[in-house]
Amino acid sequence: MSGAAGTTMVQALNTALRDALREDPDVHLLGEDIGALGGVFRVTDGLAAEFGTQRCLDTPLAEAGILGTAVGMAMYGLRPVVEMQFDAFAYPAFEQLASHVAKMRNRTAGRLPLPVTIRIPYGGGIGGVEHHSDSSEAYYAHTPGLHVVTPATVADGYGLLRAAIASDNPVVFLEPKRLYWSSERFPPTAVAPIGQAVVRRPGTDATLLTYGPSLPVCLRAAEAASAEGLELAVVDLRSLVPFDDETVCAAVRATGRAVVVHESAGFAGMGAEIAARVTERCFHHLAAPVLRVTGLDIPYPPPLLEHHYLPGVDRILDAVARLQWEQ
């Protein structure tokens, strides 16, 4: 599913779902408008036609019910893949997620693992009105028992989703809405491992640590810095849980300076966790405190103001400039 213009993230996700449905009869999709419509972002386009309305099930409009039903299906041995329509509309399912999906393996001493994948389009930058641009990754990453992954490239869209569905852990799969229409030349086919960060751009002077929708912004910032004579490494975390301390710390030690970039609010966010981990592990390699460039600590703003909220190239370069270069 790719044309001359390349494969989009949406197409890669669609292909991943199709391949999973083909290979494993236990895979079942549930969600709102995922059947005839193909989902509001068309990620499930054509799947109901190919696999039937039972394996690509249009559910009632009830997110706790969707996830709770998926829990029961997984208890019977199926491998449900749930679509939440938007980040903020996954909140009604939070009790099922925190109290059951995340805990069932643990509370049954491993006897009842729940291989459920929860796909959630997340993040802003698409001109969405209220409640359509939240970044909710910190809630999920803070909940032990869940894996939390987010692709930033088309290839990872395919690879990580295949890995999530194949995983015996419950996986919250966060799809950056802003990157849905980004495209890459080659149709992706490989499964990407969960739990491994990748260095997207090598660099010697400072390291940008980021994920999901902020990766392209960081790569642009690195490009701009390079023109000024600073080489920034860029690490794509891909997996927030499990967190790849090894790759992250190696990349930070190599440069001695680090900035964490994400678009969700900074306070008590992933950046706080990452900055603490890096400081605890790499203190003697650091020439400056780990800085954060994040969304503002406000409810997600109206679309005409969202560019002030989102970390941009300028704010990233400002942070890089503050990494105590004079010393």
Which residues are known to be catalytic? Answer: 132
Contacts 24+ apart (CB under 8 A), 17-24: 17/43, 17/44, 17/47, 17/81, 17/161, 17/165, 18/46, 18/47, 18/50, 19/162, 20/81, 20/161, 20/162, 20/165, 20/166, 21/47, 21/50, 21/51, 21/55, 21/56, 24/79, 24/165
Residue with tokens 């039937």: 52
Task: Check binding of 70 to other proteins (CB under 8 A).
Answer: yes
Task: Check binding of 77 to other proteins (CB under 8 A).
Answer: yes
Task: Check binding of 143 to other proteins (CB under 8 A).
Answer: no
Q: How many CB atoms lie within 10 A of CB 233?
A: 23
Residue with tokens 């997984």: 74
Task: Check binding of 59 to other proteins (CB under 8 A).
Answer: yes
Task: Check binding of 24 to other proteins (CB under 8 A).
Answer: no
> Residue 202 CB, nearest distance to other proteins (Å)?
24
> Residue 150 CB, nearest distance to other proteins (Å)?
17
> Residue 27 CB, nearest distance to other proteins (Å)?
12
Say if CB 85 and CB 67 are below 8 A apart. no
Instruction: Report 160-219 residues binding other proteins (CB under 8 A).
Output: 167-169, 195
Task: Check binding of 284 to other proteins (CB under 8 A).
Answer: no
Task: Check binding of 312 to other proteins (CB under 8 A).
Answer: no
Residue with tokens 């909140």: 91
Candidate segments 2-10, 139-147, 230-238, 294-302, binder of other proteins by CB under 8 A: 139-147
Task: Check binding of 245 to other proteins (CB under 8 A).
Answer: yes
Cβ neighbors of 257 (< 8 A, separation 6 or more) are 205, 206, 207, 286, 287, 288, 320, 323
Residue with tokens 């491992």: 193
Among 24, 36, 50, 99, binds other proteins (CB under 8 A): 99
Among 22, 23, 108, 298, binds other proteins (CB under 8 A): 108
Among 22, 52, 307, 322, binds other proteins (CB under 8 A): 52
Cβ neighbors of 97 (< 8 A, separation 6 or more) are 67, 90, 118, 140, 143, 146, 172
Give the separation between CA 196 and CA 235, rounded to whole angstroms: 11
- Total residues interacting with other proteins, rule: CB under 8 A: 52
Among 46, 113, 289, 301, binds other proteins (CB under 8 A): 113
Closer of 54 and 327 to other proteins (Cβ): 54
Binding site for other proteins (CB under 8 A): 25, 28, 52-54, 57, 59-60, 62, 64-65, 67-78, 80, 92, 95-96, 99-100, 103-113, 144-145, 147, 167-169, 195, 241-243, 245-246
